[in-house]
């Protein structure tokens, strides 16, 4: 694992925050090593006879993993080199291109420490999905549902990690009607490549239930879903031709410029190209 310290932003920090939460520290599960993460790391170091410097190096990593009993790093759910090779061959694409996209877009592991796939619940999409099912959303709007049901996009209710499942379950439990469960699952992005559930049927799954079931299996299934999404949205040729900006725009939206996704993809490709 990489050595981490305050101010760093990376997928390894996300994993660090997951471990800290599992050890009952009140940190936000994100990819940013902020003030609260720094405080938690120093407290952990103090309580485990480590040098209290806020730097997560080999000794601190080892202690964190041992204390949290995280055995997930060797789990068969994780993506393998062969998965990427097969994907490249199936889509007649350079392996370096596939590895570049995986590095930039996947943001680390596709599963939480408890074995569930990573999700991010979108309350505005839940609203839209309920309306598609002829449900009057206004009747369910109140103070208690403010963090799961709203008309316009906002990041303010994101909590990350296992907390996103709390929001998902809350949405599902608004009503026992299966329409609510389906709408809620469609309103979450799933797994390694964060494919939105509402894409399920259009990219080839029988229904949202089959999609969710597949997302719970392994990261290989996440990669398959990603491939189906690329095919449906005519992005295979874009990647073959290494049109990074065009791919980033269609996959990430206009915000790709602020995050420099195209530059990150190009740099990652250069790293893996023979």
Q: Which of 103-107, 151-155, 211-215 bottoms out in mean pLDDT, i.e. has the lowest?
A: 103-107
Residue 14 confidence (pLDDT) above 50: yes
Average pLDDT score over residue span 181-194: 96
Share of the chain above pLDDT 70, in %: 96
Pair 234, 251: CB distance under 8 Å:
no
Contact 31, 13 (CB under 8 A): yes
What mean pLDDT, rounded, does the chain reach? 92
The conformation of residue 56, written as its DSSP 8-state character, comes to B
- What are 129-184's pLDDT values in tens digits? 999 999 999 999 999 999 999 999 999 999 888 899 999 999 999 999 999 999 99
* Confidence label for 39 from pLDDT (cuts 50, 70 and 90): very high
Tell me which of 1.10.3470, 1.10.10, 2.30.110, 1.10.101 is the CATH number of domain 11-70.
1.10.101
Q: In angstroms, what CA-CA distances link 65 with 1, 16, 73, 199, 249?
A: 11, 9, 10, 36, 37
Q: Which pLDDT belongs to residue 72?
A: 52
- Please state, in angstroms and rounded to a whole number, the distance separating the CA atoms of residues 245 and 265: 9
Whole-angstrom CA distances from 61 to 20, 165, 177 are 11, 26, 45
Per the listing, tokens 């490709």 go with 269
Outline where 158-260 has alpha helix (H): 163-172, 178-186, 208-215, 219-232, 236-240, 244-252, 256-259
Judged by average pLDDT, the poorest of 109-123, 201-215, 228-242 is 109-123
Q: What is the mean pLDDT of residues 193-201?
A: 95
Which two three-digit tokens encode residue 139?
A: 């009747």
Alpha-carbon dihedral of residues 245, 246, 250, 251, nearest 10 degrees? Answer: -50
Give the pLDDT score at 227: 95
In the chain, where the domains are located: 11-70
| Structure confidence at residue 31 as a pLDDT band (50, 70, 90) | confident
Angle, CA 109 vertex, CA 58 and CA 158 arms, to 5°: 105
* Distance separating alpha carbons of residues 227 and 210, to the nearest angstrom: 16
How far apart CA 162 and CA 117 sit, in angstroms, is 10
What pLDDT is stored for residue 70 in this prediction? Answer: 56
- Phi/psi at 108 (nearest 5 deg)? 90, -150
């Amino acid at each position: 694992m990489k050595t981490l310290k305050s101010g760093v932003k990376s997928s390894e920090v996300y994993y660090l925050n997951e471990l800290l939460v599992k050890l009952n520290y009140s940190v936000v599960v994100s990819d940013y090593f902020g003030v609260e993460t720094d405080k938690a790391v120093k407290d952990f170091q103090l309580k485990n006879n480590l040098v209290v410097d806020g730097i997560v190096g080999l000794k601190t990593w080892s202690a964190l993993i041992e204390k949290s009993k995280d055995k997930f790093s060797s789990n068969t759910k994780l993506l393998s080199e062969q998965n990427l090779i097969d994907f490249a061959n199936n889509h007649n694409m350079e392996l370096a291109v596939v590895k570049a996209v995986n590095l930039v877009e996947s943001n680390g592991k596709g599963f939480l420490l408890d074995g569930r796939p990573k999700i991010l619940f979108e309350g505005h999409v839940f609203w839209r999905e309920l309306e598609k099912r002829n449900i009057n959303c206004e009747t369910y709007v109140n103070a208690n549902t403010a963090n799961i049901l709203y008309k316009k996009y906002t990041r303010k209710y994101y909590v990350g990690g296992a907390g996103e499942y709390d929001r998902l379950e809350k949405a599902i439990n608004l009503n026992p009607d299966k329409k609510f469960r389906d709408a809620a699952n469609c309103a979450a992005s799933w797994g390694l490549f964060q494919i939105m559930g509402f894409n399920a049927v259009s990219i080839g799954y029988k229904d949202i239930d089959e999609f969710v079931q597949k997302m719970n299996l392994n990261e290989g299934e996440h990669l398959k879903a990603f491939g189906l999404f690329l095919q449906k949205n005519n992005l295979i040729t874009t990647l073959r031709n290494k049109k990074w900006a065009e791919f980033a725009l269609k996959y990430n939206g206009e915000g790709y410029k602020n995050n420099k996704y195209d530059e990150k993809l190009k740099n990652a490709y250069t790293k893996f190209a023979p």
